[in-house]
Amino acid sequence: MLEATPKRSVYGDYDRRWISDDYFDLIVWYTPRDTIHGFQLCYDKLHWERALTWLAERGFSHTEVDNGEDTPEANRSPVLVPDGSFPADNVLAEFSRRGSALSAELRELVTDKISEFVQRKV
- Which pLDDT tens digit goes with each residue over 9-49? 999 999 999 999 999 999 999 999 999 999 999 999 998 89
Which pLDDT does position 1 carry in this prediction?
A: 86
Which pLDDT does position 69 carry in this prediction?
A: 58
Which pLDDT does position 4 carry in this prediction?
A: 81
Of 27 and 77, the structure prediction assigns the larger pLDDT to 27
Domain ranges of the chain: 15-121
Average pLDDT of the chain to the nearest whole number? 88
- Residue from 50, 58, 57, 5 nearest 24 by CA: 50
Q: What is the pTM of this model?
A: 0.86
Q: How confident is the model at residue 5 (pLDDT cuts 50, 70, 90)?
A: confident
How far is Cα 111 from Cα 96, in angstroms, rounded to an integer? 8
How far is Cα 88 from Cα 93, in angstroms, rounded to an integer? 8
Which pLDDT does position 65 carry in this prediction?
A: 79
